[in-house]
Amino acid sequence: MKRIYLWLLSMLSGILLALAWPAHGFTPLIFIALTPLFWVEDYVFERQTEYDRHREAKAALRVPPKLKAYIDKILPDKPQPGNPGFLPNVNVLPKRTKYHLFLYAYSTFLTWNILTTWWIWNSTPAAILAFVLNALLMTLVFVMFHYTCRHFFKKGMRWIILFVYWLGFEYFHHNWDISWPWLSLGNAFSPRPQWVQWYEITGVPGGSLWILICNVALLYWFKAWKAHHRDKTPVYPGTRGLGPRGRLILFCALVLVPAGLSMLRFATYKEQGREVEVIAVQPNIDPYLEQYTLTPAQATDRMLRLAERQLTEKTRFIVTPESMIQENVWENRLPYSPSVLQIQEFLQNWPNTQLIAGISSYSHVRPQDSNMQGVRKLRMTNNPERKFYRAHNTIITLSAVPGKPIPMHHKSKLVPGVEIMPYVSKLKFIENLAIDLGGTVGTLGIDPGPTVFVSESPAECKITGGSYAGPYYGTPSPEPSVAGKPSKEGEIRFTDLICYESIYGDYVASCVREGAELLFVSTNDGWWKNTPGHRQHASYARLRAVENRRDVARSANTGISCFIDQKGQVHQATGYWEPACIRQTLHANDKLTLYSRYGDILGRFCLPLSLFFILLTFVYRIFPKAWKEFRRCKAEA
């Protein structure tokens, strides 16, 4: 095969992945998108395997030195046209083919990254770095699978190594400082939640595994079909009785059976939980212009006027966007913030309602804790108790009763390059490279674990896993966990996910496991303008609803504010670039799904297993003779 065809097939995979991706992609393409890349890898693998057998056959010959020249002539190091030596089936290898697989795979993943996340460019030219690095990580995983299979699992079962490596990579990519779960393969089904109702068991990793298996099955059908028409044989060698027709049936079954069972679950599932009336506000503040020209009072007033249109006596919560309160406030002074007081004064007329709002806040850090993530120094004070501090992206809950400590949650999953600089504790200089998207720039302080707000009544809200804002003296400590404890009469437990947090299925499951009965999402997607960015972000929230069987209220500054039911269906979605306020009766469900209870089991299993296979591969590379001797002794035994 000519190299140009290998390049075209590789890029075709990247294009098909992009065409299948949310929010306006054609989802069924995901079942065939990776097959061209897998075909390229299989083509290279077969020729490299033949080449390895050729070299091993020559190495196995024990001849006197005088015959070496003659042996080299009839059995050269590299197969030559017209002179295959003792291996008549050896084909001519393309020049440097064993090095090209990296470039083929990189062209696939780079094409996919650019075509699906090009909108990052609207906020910063550093998007180029995101495309390059994320594609590089995906390529390294794919090439490592190929390299491992050159020494182990050389038959059809070798694709299990790919499944293990890829699921392990996705789990790892969700849990390090440069995490970017946006392109996890299982996210492709977010516009079609009726196909993946079984995410309540596996989560997104189950969808990634489904995609990989279907593409491998299609590859084997294509190989069987090609062999049948080339050799006129009824069965492709090595398929154990399955010819082209049987493999096509197997591929169709792998696609249709999980989707069919899911649609049956979708049709029969009933909403569960107590009814709660919730309002979501979309104030439509331009993050590039109005955010810096509107006063905090004007921004708050705009939000309250929109909410007032939909408020009723039954409304329990008003959900507003990330950074809704346009102030930078020290947390010990937060109860006295003008915007907070303005909101509490408004709520005097609506005593049955609590308001959830985002704000940029700062907290003082004791000198002995100055080595925590995100700690900064104040240069204008010599007081050691005030010298160190942290900045936070914060969510607070306000009621009509003023003067109380305010429960708050600090964003725990931070955007790389904007809210967290990777390994800044080791590499201090990179803190200066943080991208400015408005507000506080650089590594932020986080809450160490999941946070759950416990609204005991419209006038009282407590926090587990987070903290309280208030004066240094008299501010209570967070409440003990409510996980597994039944809710009291009139008590509602919820988690507010700040923007990027809503993409992390395992993190959201941990919040539900800690007692959250409702999920709120507060975000500001205006940075990406009217692009697929905000539509993809909104679409992913549908998967969180299915995974945990929780209703979702989503409030975006602009973009898509909506409600999502426990089956992943969207209700009252708002348009881009329009102020809006919507009201819906949600269901506070306290039952745990299998995924909520155990989280990402597939990823936690595959990551250490993939590390084991990688270690085994490097051991073989460093000590090839010892490994071959081990295998020989094992075979003799």
| Neighbouring-strand partners of residue 397 | 356
Q: Tell me, what DSSP letter sits at residue 444?
A: P
- Burial classification of residue 533, based on how many CB atoms lie within 10 Å of its CB (0-12 exposed, 13-18 middle, 19 or more buried): buried
Task: Identify the pLDDT of residue 514.
Answer: 95
Residue 634 pLDDT level (bands cut at 50, 70, 90): low
CATH number at residue 417: 3.60.110.10
Task: Identify the pLDDT of residue 76.
Answer: 54
Residues 318 and 238 in one domain: no
Cβ neighbours of 345 (radius 10 Å): 12
Task: Identify the pLDDT of residue 347.
Answer: 96
Q: Tell me, what DSSP letter sits at residue 114?
A: H
Residues 294 and 195 in one domain: no
Residues 413 and 287 in one domain: yes
- Cα separation, 413 vs 424, in Å, equals 16
| Type of residue at 130 | A
pLDDT tens for 579-630 read: 999 999 999 999 999 999 999 999 999 999 999 999 888 887 777 776 667 6
Query: Is residue 80 over pLDDT 60?
Result: no
* Number of domains comprising the chain: 2
- Cα separation, 632 vs 627, in Å, equals 9
369 compared with 72, residue with greater pLDDT: 369
Domain span at 162? 3-268
Task: Identify the pLDDT of residue 475.
Answer: 74
Domain membership of residue 9 (yes or no) is yes
Domain membership of residue 532 (yes or no) is yes
Phi, psi (5° rounding) for residue 474?
95, -5
Closest CA to 94 of 223, 4, 227, 222: 4
Choose one of 268, 292, 318: the last residue of a domain.
268
Task: Identify the pLDDT of residue 63.
Answer: 53
Residues 586 and 533 in one domain: yes
Q: Tell me, what DSSP letter sits at residue 479?
A: B
Residues 306 and 185 in one domain: no
Residues 218 and 333 in one domain: no
Residues 279 and 261 in one domain: no
**Average pLDDT, stretch 59-88?**
52
Task: Identify the pLDDT of residue 202.
Answer: 96
Token pair in block for residue 311? 């408020």
pLDDT tens for 174-228 read: 998 889 999 999 999 999 999 999 999 999 999 999 999 999 999 999 988 888 7
Least confident of 42-51, 239-248, 545-554, 555-564: 239-248
3-state helix, strand, coil in the chain (%, to 5): 50, 15, 35
**Average pLDDT, stretch 379-407?**
87
Task: Identify the pLDDT of residue 238.
Answer: 44
Query: Is residue 433 over pLDDT 80?
Result: no
Residues 282 and 255 in one domain: no
**Average pLDDT, stretch 438-454?**
79
Domain membership of residue 409 (yes or no) is yes
Looking at the chain, the whole-number percentage of residues with pLDDT higher than 90 is 59
Domain membership of residue 580 (yes or no) is yes
- Print the SS3 string covering 15-31: HHHHHHCCCCCCHHHHH
In angstroms, how far is CA 481 from the centroid of its own chain?
27
Choose one of 202, 236, 268: the last residue of a domain.
268
Residues 339 and 229 in one domain: no
pTM score of the predicted model: 0.89
**Average pLDDT, stretch 454-475?**
86
Residue 236 pLDDT level (bands cut at 50, 70, 90): very low
Domain membership of residue 629 (yes or no) is no
Q: Tell me, what DSSP letter sits at residue 188?
A: G
Question: What is the maximum alpha-carbon separation in the chain?
Answer: 103
- How many CA atoms lie within 13 Å of 576's alpha carbon, on the beta-carbon side? 13
Closest CA to 300 of 276, 318, 275: 318
- Cα separation, 522 vs 74, in Å, equals 71
- Cα separation, 41 vs 77, in Å, equals 23
In angstroms, how far is CA 451 from the centroid of its own chain?
20
pLDDT tens for 11-49 read: 999 999 999 999 889 999 999 999 999 999 999 888 877
- Cα separation, 62 vs 577, in Å, equals 77
**Average pLDDT, stretch 228-234?**
61
Domain membership of residue 550 (yes or no) is yes
Least confident of 91-95, 194-198, 478-482: 91-95
Residues 181 and 289 in one domain: no
Domain membership of residue 176 (yes or no) is yes
Contact 190, 204 (CB under 8 A): no
pLDDT tens for 286-297 read: 887 777 678 999
Residues 73 and 9 in one domain: yes
Residues 219 and 124 in one domain: yes
Domain membership of residue 445 (yes or no) is yes
Q: Distance of CA 185 to CAs 18, 109, 181, 244, Å?
A: 11, 12, 9, 27
**Average pLDDT, stretch 145-150?**
88
Query: Is residue 88 over pLDDT 50?
Result: no
